[in-house]
Structures are given as structure tokens and as C-alpha cells.
Amino acid sequence: MSAPRRPVATPGGGLEGLAPATRAVVDAVLADWPGHRGFLVKSFRDRDERTAAAAERVARLVARLTDGALAAHVSGYRWMCEMVLEEEVHFLRSGRYRHSSFAEVAALVYGNAEEMGAYMRGLLLSQVLWINHARALEFYLREYLASLPPGYRHLEVGPGHGLLLHLAAGDPACRAATAWDVSEASLSLTRDSLRRLGGGQEVAIERRSVLEDLGEGEFFDSVVISEVCEHLEQAPAALRALRGVMSRGGRIYVNVPVNSPAVDHIYLLETPEAARAMVESAGFRLESTLVAPAAGYTEERARKLRTAISVVMIARAG
């Protein structure tokens, strides 16, 4: 689905003053897809200095990951955005995500290597380009990682492109880092990303589901589950299981979007309050929450129009 045409850049064009690595990503996208300018202008217009600095840090990592293959990533990003628009139409018409079963989505999306590759490449660029993703990353760096105690043991579930995991593994306060995912293909992507990014400590990467019997024990002081809950049939059960492997007083970083249709999103939360209730009901005490609307909407308008909002929560295991 294509959007109405928009003019190619005018001088400045609402995207002036971007830092170099961010500029490189934006320019690569607009060279291939000038019609995306309006969306990007809205996504960049209200960023504060901290968010812009975090996006630039991530854009430098993206440059290392793409390593001269930015065009393929732009193609994946465009595919992902157009997929989201298709799903948005379905969501607005029906009030529901298109799919609700993991098996259905696994067969349709996760088993399709070509689509998954495009999707992962697109998601990587969105960390720089989408305001809600950039704000979530800034929150992760400033509010989460910076406040973890020395010697913390870290777990990330569903690390995907590996950016968050790389940042934790490179944190001098992190004693050990582990990553779990149910998909070997996804873990392979994470391994490749960590290798390309370099630095940091060795990460234990394991094929494992949070819904299997994890046992009980104080294995982790820090757990990250970012943009994963919406892919699960039983997101609350996954959070409860994670609570069981955390140290008392350990902290969890949960990033889950509400009203955010995508072909593989199956667990629908409709308000930030529903997201907070899900985390609290799993046995966590919320410490801080970031409500980050997508696409440049204010929170008030995002709630009114039911557009996507990233809800990012830091909570403590009781």
C-alpha cells in the first residue's frame, strides 16, 4: 500500500540539524523512498537532546552492523512500514490484530526466511528512525542500565538485532550476560550482530522458551524483555516465569507496544494502564514508566485515536 506522494527534500525540509550517523540513515531512506519524508519529519521534530544523542549512538552501531549494506536495510525498513500500514487498516476496521495464535504466525512469518530477514533489517533502522523506539532506547540507557548494581547478572529474552544486549554486555557493571530465544534463526542473527559489533563480554546464548519449566532460583539481577510480549499468546505467564528466575529486588525492563498492529503481533493491549497492570500482576513493583507514542502523536491524541504507543516499564521483583 502506498501513501500519497510527497515532495522530495526542500533545503532543510524539516530534517535539519541531525547528527552524522543519524543523517546517513535518514538520507539512505529518503533516497529510496522520498514519500516517507512526512513521517520522518514528525518522528524527528520533537526529540529532545538526550533522545537525539541516544539515537546517534545507536545509529553508529547500525553503521557497524550494516557495514556497507545499508540499501538492503532500507528495503527491509520500507517492507516493514508497508506491512504495518496493511495491518493498521485491518486493525482499524476490526479492532483486533489479524492473528492470535503463535503457531499461525510462526508458519506465516517466522518460517519465511526472506520476510524475516527484511523484517529484522527494518526493525534495526526503526531504532533510529521511529520516535517511540528512540525514546525507549534512551530510557534503557539512562534509567535502566545506569541504575543497575555492580556485578549484575543479566538476561535478555528475544534479543533479535542484539542492540540492547550489546549495550548491557559492554557495561562494566555487568558480570554475566545471557540471551534466550525460541528461534534458532533469531539467535543466529543475535550472534552475528554481537560478532559484528564486537567488544563487551562473552554472552551465553541459549535456545529456550520462557514458557517451559525454568525452575526457581535467583539467577538474574536484570532481565530485559523488549518488544516480545506482543508476540506471545501468554504474555502474563511469561512475565510470571521470569519473576521466578530473578533475584529478590532484581529489576526488569519491559517494553511492550499497545494498539500496534503488525503481522506477527498476537497479544493486544489497548492502554498503557493495561500494560502496567500486566507487569504488576506478574509480581513486580513498578518503579518508572515511559509512555512513548509512535509517529509523532502526543499521548493525548494517541490515546484518542488509538495509535501505537510504546509502554516502557522498569519494575522490581518483590
Partner 1 sequence: MNVRQRLQQLMRELFDDDALEARDDLTAEEVPEWDSLAHVRLIVAVEKEFGVRFASTEVGEIDSVGALVRRIEEKLAA
Strand positions, DSSP E, 133-218: 152-157, 174-181, 203-207
Q: Does 32 bind partner 1 (CB under 8 A)?
A: no
Q: Which three cell numbers stand for residue 289?
A: 514508566
Q: Does 92 bind partner 1 (CB under 8 A)?
A: yes
Please provide residue 188's backbone torsions phi and psi, each rounded to the nearest 5 degrees: -65, -40
Q: Which is nearer to partner 1, 122 or 159 (CB)?
A: 122
Q: Which three cell numbers stand for residue 126?
A: 526503526
Length of the chain: 318
- Whole-angstrom Cα distance, residue 315 to residue 282? 11
Please enumerate in sequence order all residues whose Cβ is within 8 A of that of 167, keeping only pairs 6 or more positions apart, or say none: 140, 141, 145
- Rounded to the nearest whole angstrom, what is the least distance from the CB of residue 71 to partner 1 in the complex? 21
Sign for the CA dihedral angle at 137, 117, 27, 311 comes to negative
- Rounded to the nearest whole angstrom, what is the least distance from the CB of residue 11 to partner 1 in the complex? 16
- Work out which of 23, 28, 32, 42 binds partner 1, going by CB under 8 A: 42
Q: Which is nearer to partner 1, 91 or 253 (CB)?
A: 91
Q: Does 289 bind partner 1 (CB under 8 A)?
A: no
- Work out which of 35, 170, 200, 236 binds partner 1, going by CB under 8 A: 35
Q: Does 244 bind partner 1 (CB under 8 A)?
A: no
Beta-strand pair 203-207/220-226: unpaired
CB atoms within 10 A of CB 64: 13
Q: Which is nearer to partner 1, 255 or 307 (CB)?
A: 307
Q: Which is nearer to partner 1, 89 or 237 (CB)?
A: 89
Which of 58, 73, 49 lies closest to 21, judged by CA? 58
- Work out which of 71, 85, 103, 146 binds partner 1, going by CB under 8 A: 85
- Whole-angstrom Cα distance, residue 286 to residue 295? 26
Considering only 36-44, 48-56, 101-109, 231-239, which stretch makes contact with partner 1 by CB under 8 A?
Answer: 36-44
- Whole-angstrom Cα distance, residue 236 to residue 51? 30
- Work out which of 81, 123, 131, 194 binds partner 1, going by CB under 8 A: 81
Q: Which three cell numbers stand for residue 130?
A: 521511529
- Work out which of 9, 23, 38, 271 binds partner 1, going by CB under 8 A: 38
Please provide residue 140's backbone torsions phi and psi, each rounded to the nearest 5 degrees: -60, -45
Q: Does 8 bind partner 1 (CB under 8 A)?
A: no
Considering only 20-28, 33-41, 101-109, 158-166, which stretch makes contact with partner 1 by CB under 8 A?
Answer: 33-41
Q: Does 39 bind partner 1 (CB under 8 A)?
A: yes
Q: Does 10 bind partner 1 (CB under 8 A)?
A: no
Q: Which is nearer to partner 1, 91 or 180 (CB)?
A: 91
Please provide residue 224's backbone torsions phi and psi, each rounded to the nearest 5 degrees: -120, 130
Binding site for partner 1 (CB under 8 A): 1-7, 35-36, 38-39, 41-42, 81, 85-86, 88-89, 92-93, 295, 301, 305, 307
